[in-house]
Amino acid sequence: MGNTDDCEIQQRVGVEIPPTKPFLQTLKSSLKETFFPDDPFKQFKNQPSSRKFILGLQYFVPILEWAPRYTFDFFKADFIAGITIASLAVPQGISYAGLASLPPVIGLYSSFVPPLIYAMLGSSRDLAVGTVAVPSLLITSMMGKVVNPHQNPKLYVQLVLTATFFAGVFQAALGLLRLGFIVDFLSHATIVGFMGGAATVVCLQQLKGILGLVHFTHEADIISVMKSVFTQIHMWKWESGVLGCCFLFFLFITRFFSRRKPVFFWINALAPLTSVILGSLLVYFTHAEKNGVQIIGYLKKGLNPPSVSELKTSFGSTHLSAAIKTGIITGVIALAEGIAVGRSFATFKSYHIDGNKEMIAIGMMNIAGSCTSCYLTTGPFSRTAVNFNAGCKTAVSNIVMATAVMITLLFLTPLFHYTPLVVLSAIIMAAMISLIDYEAAIHLWGIDKFDFIVCISAYIGVVFGSVETGLVIAVAISLLRVLLFIARPRTSVMGNIPNSIAYRSIEQYPKANYVPGILVLNISAPVYFANANYLRERISRWIDEEEDRLKCSEKQDLQYVILDMSAVGNIDTSGISMLEEVKKIVDRRCIKLVLANPGGEVMKKLDKSKFIHTIGQEWIYLTVEEAASACNFMLQACKPKTKAVGCEAADDQV
C-alpha cells in the first residue's frame, strides 16, 4: 500500500510466494506422495550392488529378513498357535467350501498351499490365512447364476478357480502398482453394513442344512431364502433340526465362556473341531444318516492336485467374463478384510503393516492357490483372533497350520466321512452371527447419521437384493458423500474469542464476538471447479446477511471481508476465477477483500494468474489475527469515512 492519505498505513506482511518448480518435478513429487508415501527405496540409497540385491529380496520376501533372527522360543509359541488354528481351519475349510458350493476337500486344499505362500511374503505376524464366509457367499451367488454347481460341478469348479486366479492377479497388481488406496473407498460404515447383511443371508441359507432340506434356492436375498424354507415345510427333518440346535447352543456357550474368561480362549477355538468329532461319532453309532441327517461322505485323500489344466480350459470358456468379474469383486472384498484384520492386530503389538506388501502377498497366494485346486483365501478375523490369543510370534504359525492340514489330507480325511452337514451349518451360523455388529451400527447413529445411512443401505441392499447390489449401493453412497464434501464445502463466520487474539467459528463458539465492520469467513476445503460456483454464491450470501445484520443494529458499515484460507490446500483455475468474481462483487460494494494464510500451492497459482497483483500483496496476511488487527487499525484511523480505503466514488458505484 502506498502513502496516499493519513488513513492509509504502510503495511508489510510476511506472506511469501514459494519458488516455482518445473512441472515434471512437481508431477514427480505428487506421484511419489500418492504411490510411495513410505519411500520404500530409501534403504537402497548409498548401498553397494550386492547389498541392494539382498535388501531387494528381503523387501519382496520378508521371511528372509526375520528368519535369521528366529529362535526356538518363538517356534514353541508359533507351534502352539499353529496347532490351535489348525483345529479351527479344518472344520471352517470344509464348511466354507460348502458355502461356496464347492467340494469339501477344496476347503482343506485352500488351508494348505496359501498359508505357506503368505508365510514367505506377508508382513503380518498375526494374520492366519484361510477361506472366509463373505467371499464364499459372493462366489456362489455370482457364479451360481452362470453355471449350476449341482448340474455341472466340473465347469463350476473350473470357473471358481479361474475367478480365484484373476482375484490374485488383481490383488497383486494393486500392490505392485501401489494402488492400495482404492481399497480405502470401502469405508468403515460400508464394511459394517455389508458384512452384517452378508452374515444375515449366510445364516438364513444355513437353514437348508439345519432343516435337512435337499433342494434350496441359489438366490441370496431374504425373500427367496424364506420362500424356499417355508414352501418345503413338509420336507423338514426334525432329527436334523434338533441336532443343529444342540450344536448351535454348544458353540454359543463355549464362545460366551471364552469371552468371560479370556484365558480359556482355546475352548472357543476348539469348539468347531469338537463339534465335528462329536457329530461324526453320533452319526456313526446311531446311523442317523439313514434317518434324514445328511453327511459329507467320501473325501479324497492326498495333497492338492495341480489345476493349471482347468485354468487353461476355462480361459477359452464363454463364461470367462463372469469369472473375471467375480474375481475382481471378491478380490477387493478379501483384500479389504485381510488388510483391515492385519492392521488391527498389528496395532496391539506396535508394529507396522505395509499395505502394498500385503496386497502382493495375498495376490500371490491366490495365484498359487488357483494353480493347486484352492479357491479364494485371505486373513479371516476369527482365525486371526485365535492365532493372536494363542500367542503367535511370527508367520511360522501359518506354516504349522498348513503342516497340520497336510497331515489331515494325507491320512485323516476318511474320518470326516460321517460328519453331518448340520454341524457344518451350525459352525457357519455361529461364526456369522458375530459379524452382525449391531453395536457398531448404533455407534454410527450416535456419531454420524450419514454414515449410519450408508451402513443401513448396504445392509438392506444385501439382505433384500443381492450381495453385489448391497456392495454397489454402499460404495455409490460413500462416493456420493465424498462428492458432496467436495462440491459443498463448509464455510463459517469467525469471531474473536473474548480476552484473546484467536478467531474461531461463531457457530462452534457462540461467545465469540463479531468485529464491527469486518466479516471473517473460513473456507474449509480445497477450491476446485466442483465447488467454485457454490463458494462464490455462499460468500455473497454471507456478505448480504452481514450487511443486513449491521443495518438492523445501526452499527458501522461492512468494510472488510477476510477469507481464512488456512484449509485451502489447493486451488484450480475455476477457483481463481471465483476469487476474481468475489473481488469484483466486494469492489462494487466498496468493501475490501483480504486473504489470510493461503498455502504455498495456492500462492503460486495466485501469483501466476496475476490475482496477487489485482488484490495487492499487502492485503494478504499470515494469520486471521494479523489481518483483523490491521483492518481494525485502519477502521479506527479512518473513522470519519464510511467506507474502506480504496473505494470508488459513490457516483461510480453500480
pLDDT for res 371: 95
| Cell numbers representing residue 566 in the block | 488456512
pLDDT digits (tens, 9 = 90+) for 130-145: 998 888 988 988 898 8
Strand 503-505 relative to strand 518-523, pairing: unpaired
Contact between 350 and 101 (Cβ < 8 Å): no
pLDDT surpassing 70 at residue 643: no
Mean pLDDT of 416-420: 87
Where residue 62 falls (left for φ over 0; alpha for ψ -120 to 50; beta otherwise) is alpha
Please, which pLDDT band fits residue 31 given cuts at 50, 70 and 90? low
The confidence score (pLDDT) of residue 647 equals 53
Residue 35: pLDDT above 70?
Answer: no
Is pLDDT of 646 > 60? no
- Residue 517 — pLDDT band, cuts 50, 70, 90? confident
Would you give the distance in Å from CA 616 to the centre of its chain? Answer: 45
92-129 in b/e burial notation, b at 16+ Cβ within 10 A? bbbbbbbbbbbbbbbbbbbbbbbbbbbbbbbbbbbbbb
Q: pLDDT tens, 553-611? A: 766 788 999 999 988 988 999 999 999 999 999 999 989 999 998 988 899 899 889 99
130 φ, ψ (degrees, to nearest 5): 180, -175
Which pLDDT belongs to residue 650? 38
pTM, entire model: 0.74
Q: Are 580 and 613 in contact (CB under 8 A)?
A: no
Q: Is the pLDDT of residue 38 over 70?
A: no
Do 205 and 216 touch, CB atoms closer than 8 A?
yes
The mean per-residue pLDDT over the stretch 150-154 comes to 89
Residue identified by cell 468403515 is 188
Q: In what order do the strands lie in the sheet with 491-496?
A: 503-505, 491-496, 518-523, 560-564, 592-596, 620-621
User: Residue range 439-459: average pLDDT?
Assistant: 89
Tell whether the model's pLDDT for residue 171 goes beyond 90.
Answer: yes
Distance of CA 410 to the CA centre of its chain: 39
Q: Is 445 helix (H, G, I), strand (E, B) or coil?
A: helix
pLDDT band (50, 70, 90) for residue 1: very low
**Mean pLDDT across the stretch 157-183?**
88
Q: Residue 105 and residue 93: Cα distance in Å, rounded? A: 8
Structure confidence at residue 56 as a pLDDT band (50, 70, 90):
confident
Mean pLDDT of 609-627: 89
Instruction: Determine contact, residues 298/218, Cβ cutoff 8 Å.
Output: no
Statement: residue 48 has pLDDT above 90: no
State the pLDDT confidence band at 8, using cuts at 50, 70 and 90: very low
Residues 400 and 78: their CA atoms lie apart, in Å, by: 7
Averaged over 203-213, what is the pLDDT?
84
Residue 198 binned pLDDT confidence (cut-offs 50, 70, 90): confident
pLDDT one-digit tens code per residue, 94-128: 888 988 999 999 999 999 999 999 999 998 999 99
Q: Which residue has the cell 463466520?
A: 493
- Mean pLDDT, rounded, for 64-90: 89
Mean pLDDT of 405-413: 92
- The whole-angstrom separation of Cα 74 and Cα 62 is 17
Checking if the pLDDT of 439 tops 70, the result is yes
Q: How many residues does the chain have?
A: 654
List the one residue out of 168, 275, 252, 157 whose CA is nearest residue 203. Answer: 252
pLDDT tens digits, one per residue of 256-299: 888 888 777 778 878 888 888 898 898 888 888 777 778 888 88
Q: Residue 374 in contact with residue 110, Cβ under 8 Å?
A: yes
Average of per-residue pLDDT across 501-506: 90
| Position with higher pLDDT, 187 vs 231 | 231
390 compared with 180, residue with greater pLDDT: 390
On the question of pLDDT at 82 being above 80, the answer is yes
Q: How confident is the model over 470-496, as a mean pLDDT?
A: 84
Please state, rounded to an integer, the average pLDDT across all residues of the chain: 84
pLDDT surpassing 60 at residue 227: yes
Q: pLDDT value at position 651?
A: 36
Whether 272 and 92 have beta carbons less than 8 Å apart is answered as yes
Is the alpha carbon torsion for 9, 605, 543, 504 positive or negative?
Answer: negative
